[in-house]
């Protein structure tokens, strides 16, 4: 397994085509805006080397028998599913940011089981392809991105009905040695920090959408792949050379629009190529795994935000107020409820036909439905406790300035014994988590990541077993049809 530094150097060797602010980024590894997101992924390598976290971060591969990072593991038990959530919570606590590897882990497990069932029906070799690919990634200890979300164009039209056929990624050429694909994947978390990328369809499809029912893997620096970095609130603060104003100066997350401009995919890296009836299965399974993930990562970041809010109350001198105590209790209650959902859907999981374990889909969707709401309330309460100064505090430059600094020092004092600098630091962290760059990985991403709220409600409706519940009521009421 790689160390964190070895991972960084491996990314330095990549030749990715990355654009930001209208310019090509020649050295993304050391770019001040992108580097914090790389540090978050680096932490997943560093902690895997730490004996304290070894049980959560590493596991014995079911494919090679070797010790691997859990992010590359094919789940073999309910314990694996539970440990995944525990690992994600711990990493959220350590980074207070998105550590970007969950999508690839969830894609690994969804593609593993789906390709097995495709092969059973059609006699294809997709599962063999994927197993060999998974071994390759495990042996090299790669970070793998999972790409599912298409731009979609007109949401009221199927892929083949779009005015521009590239609004959903598709096969544009079938060759004896592979396929050529064109399109884009939006909101790709961690793509710029991954060596590999697994691409999947984004919706269920009918026979007319055969060219769009495609899943495959490519290196992130494959010819024809272009990444355009998405803006985040307060992102250019990282260019100002101020640690304090960033809030979380070491860690972060980043998303990109990933364009596939006629990218070639060899046959041994194809996992689906036209079997439309399995597109929905792959989407459903990936979404389930990824909705489980939110019961871990968002909870870990929530732990940091709750701690920051409690410190802000201490520094403001109001921690003994009953309403402050009650708000902190509510934040803890909401956060732990999310964790309960993540653990529950894991503990209720079971084996697929391929042998790997999948979460309980209903409970996973309930988990994510709660995640679309509770982090917003937790953030609201954090902003309430911190006070309006969380968005009106002067800059670090003003605090350090010989003229304005003494005024900032005098008038921004809080509780006795608390330095103004420490008060400003905790306020900037809260701002970062609720409103700044980390808000992409906590608040807004809690709403839309792994599918919008309506996507979970559709799955809850499908998985809710209303007919069974009706029969239970009939039995108790002694109703006979």
Which residues are part of the catalytic machinery? 98, 102, 189, 255, 290, 294, 297, 445
Determine contact, residues 4/210, Cβ cutoff 8 Å: no
Q: Please give the structure tokens belonging to residue 167.
A: 């609004």
Contact between 2 and 142 (Cβ < 8 Å): no
β-partners of residue 225 are 260
Place of tokens 């055969």: 210
Please tell me whether residue 231 adopts helix, strand or coil conformation. Answer: coil
Q: How many residues does the chain have?
A: 481
358 touches 345 (CB < 8 A): no
Contacts of 196 (CB under 8 A, 6+ apart): 104, 137, 142, 143, 144, 145, 217, 218, 219, 220
Q: Is there a contact between 425 and 342 (Cβ–Cβ < 8 Å)?
A: no
Strands 178-189 and 225-229: unpaired
- How many C-beta neighbours within 10 Å does residue 385 have? 25
* Tokens 């392809």 found at: 129
Instruction: Look up residue 395 and give its DSSP letter.
Output: P
| Pairing mode, strands 214-219 and 196-199 | antiparallel
In order of 252, 337, 373, 437, the CA distances from 386 in angstroms are: 22, 23, 20, 18
Phi-psi region of 178 (alpha: psi -120 to 50; beta: other; left: phi over 0): left
Greatest pairwise CA separation for the chain in angstroms: 85
Taking the mean position of all CA atoms in its chain, how far away is CA 97? 10
DSSP 232-255: -TTGGGGGTT-HHHHSSSS----E
Alpha carbon 184 to chain centroid distance?
A: 18
Enumerate long-range contacts of 166-172, CB under 8 Å, 24 or more apart: 168/201, 168/202, 168/209, 168/212, 169/199, 169/201, 169/212, 169/214, 169/260, 170/211, 170/212, 170/214, 171/211, 171/212, 171/214, 171/273, 171/274, 172/211, 172/262
3-state DSSP assignment of residue 387: coil
């Amino acid at each position: 397994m790689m160390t964190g530094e070895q991972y960084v150097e491996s990314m330095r060797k990549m030749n990715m085509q990355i654009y930001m602010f209208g310019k090509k980024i020649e050295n993304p590894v050391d770019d001040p805006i992108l580097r914090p997101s790389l540090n978050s992924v680096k932490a997943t390598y560093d902690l895997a080397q730490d004996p304290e976290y070894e049980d959560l971060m590493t596991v014995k591969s079911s494919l090679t028998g070797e010790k691997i990072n859990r992010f590359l593991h094919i789940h073999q038990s309910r314990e694996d599913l539970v440990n995944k959530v525990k690992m994600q919570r711990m990493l959220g606590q350590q980074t207070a940011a998105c550590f970007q590897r969950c999508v690839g882990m969830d894609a690994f497990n969804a593609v593993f089981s789906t390709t097995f069932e495709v092969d059973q029906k059609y006699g294809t070799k997709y599962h063999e392809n994927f197993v060999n690919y998974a071994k390759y990634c495990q042996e090299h200890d790669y970070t793998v991105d999972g790409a599912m979300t298409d731009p979609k164009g007109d949401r009221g039209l199927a892929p083949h009905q779009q005015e521009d056929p590239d609004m959903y990624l598709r096969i544009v050429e079938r060759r004896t040695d592979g396929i050529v694909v064109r399109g884009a994947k939006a909101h790709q978390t961690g793509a710029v920090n991954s060596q590999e990328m697994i691409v999947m369809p984004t919706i269920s499809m009918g026979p007319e959408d055969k060219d769009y029912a495609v899943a495959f893997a490519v290196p992130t620096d494959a010819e024809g792949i272009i990444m355009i970095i998405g803006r985040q609130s307060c992102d250019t603060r990282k260019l100002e050379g101020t640690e304090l104003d960033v809030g979380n100066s070491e860690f972060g997350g980043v998303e990109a629009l990933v364009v596939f401009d006629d990218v070639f995919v060899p046959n041994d890296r194809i996992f689906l190529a036209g079997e439309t009836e399995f597109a929905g299965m792959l989407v459903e399974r990936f979404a389930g795994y990824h909705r489980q993930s939110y019961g871990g990562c968002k909870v870990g970041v929530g732990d940091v935000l709750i701690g920051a809010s409690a410190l802000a109350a201490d520094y403001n001198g109001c921690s003994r107020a009953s309403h402050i105590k009650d708000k902190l209790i509510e934040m803890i209650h909401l956060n732990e409820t999310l964790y309960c959902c993540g653990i529950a859907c894991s503990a209720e999981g079971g084996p697929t036909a391929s042998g790997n374990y999948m979460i309980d889909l209903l409970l996973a969707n309930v988990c994510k439905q709660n995640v679309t709401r509770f982090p917003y309330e937790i953030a609201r309460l954090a902003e309430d406790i911190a006070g309006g100064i969380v968005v009106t505090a002067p800059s670090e430059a003003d605090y350090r300035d010989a003229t304005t600094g003494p005024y900032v020092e005098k008038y921004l004092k809080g509780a006795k014994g608390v330095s103004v600098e420490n008060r400003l630091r905790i306020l900037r962290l809260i701002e970062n988590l609720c409103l700044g760059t980390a808000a992409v990985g906590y608040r807004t991403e809690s709403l839309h990541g792994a599918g919008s709220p309506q996507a979970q409600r559709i799955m809850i409706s499908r998985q809710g077993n209303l007919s069974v519940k009706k029969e239970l009521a009939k039995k108790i009421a002694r109703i006979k049809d």
